[in-house]
Structures are given as C-alpha cells and as structure tokens.
C-alpha cells in the first residue's frame, strides 16, 4: 500500500481531531504530502472512524493514484496549499469558536501573544463555495506567511511540517478563537499592537537563560546560536 505510514497517521490524527470536538459528523479533512504524492481523507467519512485503506492517494495535480474511496471535496484546497507553501500536512476543521469568528470577523483580533506561533494575525479568507478553485485561491492568499487561516462562514485550516504540527496549530487556533469569543462576552478585549506582537516574536527567538545553581544572578539573554 502506497504511503502506508502516512495513511495510518491520517487515521490517528483524524481520530484525535474528532475526539477533541473539532469536527462534527463527516465535516473536516486532513492530508499529508510525501514527495509528489498526497494521502487525503475520503469524502463523506467520519474522521473518528477512519481506517488506513479508506484514505486515497492522489498526485499533486489531483489525479487518483491509489485507493477505492473518493478524495475529500476539499482536496483542491489541500493541493493548492502544497503548491504554494512548503507545508507537508494540512488540517481543515469546522471547530465551533473558529467558525464563530469566521462568520463575524475579517481577522482574528490578536488578544494573546501566542498569535505569533501561527505566524501573525490570523486572516479570514473570503467566502466561496466549498470544494471550488475560488475557495482554494482565497485560502492560499490568507495563508501567505501564516500557519493558519479562517474561512468565512466555514471553518479553519492549518498547515505544518507534519500532521502533529498541523494538528497542534489547529488546537492553538481554536484556543485563540475561544479566548477572544469568551473575552468579548465579558467586555471589549484588549488587542495587542503590531509592536507588541513583534516583541513577543523576538522574545520567542531568545529564550531565557536561567541562573545556574550557585550563580546568584541571572545571566543576560543571548540569541540562540544558529548552525549553518
């Protein structure tokens, strides 16, 4: 079976996506790229009940390569992301708080500094019918320089170097959306400025050096050495 390990991982993370409540029924889809091939979840499938043989393999131009099931209707979106980015995995969900934000906002207001872990302020891609080239183009634009995007009146999509990274980005995206929605119910959330986000991003690249036992004082921060 082609991409046997990748298809197994699709099932593992499909099950985790369903268990986390990030999808309902047969909504949502995942894919993973290996070279010029992509394993993707099938159309009309409940992610919590996937088996490896359920997941078809297609080429980067969308031609079927192996598998009896029809690829997800959002396969054009996944393939567009792979052609436009260095991503090796894509997760698309209809998570509740992400969808709430996607139906009301043009971007997710950055109320927490962990926004920088997704590459910056999360954009909401313009609405288009699911499974169409138009939607794929809108999402591709919204993902420019980002690891996550919301899709107007639809859901969210995240990317990563592997399925674990893409799945964790989905969890973070939903958490950020929930924080914003719940904060909005209490009052007007304080939104971080571009300067504050940039400072958080710089801080993330310069981890603190804790004092060694007996030093008595903390060592100054130094940027990590980059091996080339």
74 is catalytic: yes
Write down the residue that tokens 């919204």 correspond to. Answer: 142
Q: Which residues of 193-207 are buried (b: 16+ CB within 10 A; e: fewer)?
A: eeeebeebeeeeeee
Catalytic-labelled residue, pool 19, 66, 74, 134? 74
Q: Which residues of 18-51 are buried (b: 16+ CB within 10 A; e: fewer)?
A: beeebbeeebbbbbbbeeebbbbbbbebbbeebe
CA 27, CA 45: separation in Å to the nearest integer? 8
Q: Which of 177, 75, 88, 87 is nearest to 135 (CA)?
A: 75
**208 in Cβ contact with 131 (< 8 Å):** no
Active site residues: 74
């Amino acid at each position: 079976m082609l991409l046997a390990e990748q298809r197994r991982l699709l099932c593992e993370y499909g099950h985790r996506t369903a268990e986390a409540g990030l999808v309902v029924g047969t909504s949502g889809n995942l894919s993973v790229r290996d070279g010029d091939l992509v394993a993707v979840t099938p159309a009309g499938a409940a992610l919590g009940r996937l088996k490896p043989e359920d997941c078809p393999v297609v080429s980067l131009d969308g031609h079927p390569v192996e598998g009896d099931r029809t690829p997800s209707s959002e396969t054009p979106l996944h393939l567009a992301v792979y052609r436009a980015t260095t991503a090796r995995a894509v997760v698309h969900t209809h998570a509740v708080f992400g969808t709430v934000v996607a139906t009301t906002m043009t971007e997710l207001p950055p109320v927490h500094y962990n926004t920088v872990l997704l590459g910056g302020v999360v954009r909401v891609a313009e609405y288009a019918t699911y499974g169409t080239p138009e939607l794929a183009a809108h999402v591709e634009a919204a993902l420019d320089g980002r690891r996550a995007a919301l899709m107007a009146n639809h859901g969210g999509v995240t990317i990563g170097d592997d399925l674990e990274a893409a799945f964790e980005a989905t969890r973070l995206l939903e958490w950020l959306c929930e924080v914003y929605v719940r904060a909005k119910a209490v009052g007007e959330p304080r939104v971080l400025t571009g300067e504050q986000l940039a400072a958080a991003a710089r801080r993330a690249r310069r981890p603190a050096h804790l004092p060694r036992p007996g030093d008595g004082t903390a060592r100054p921060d130094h940027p990590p050495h980059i091996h080339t």
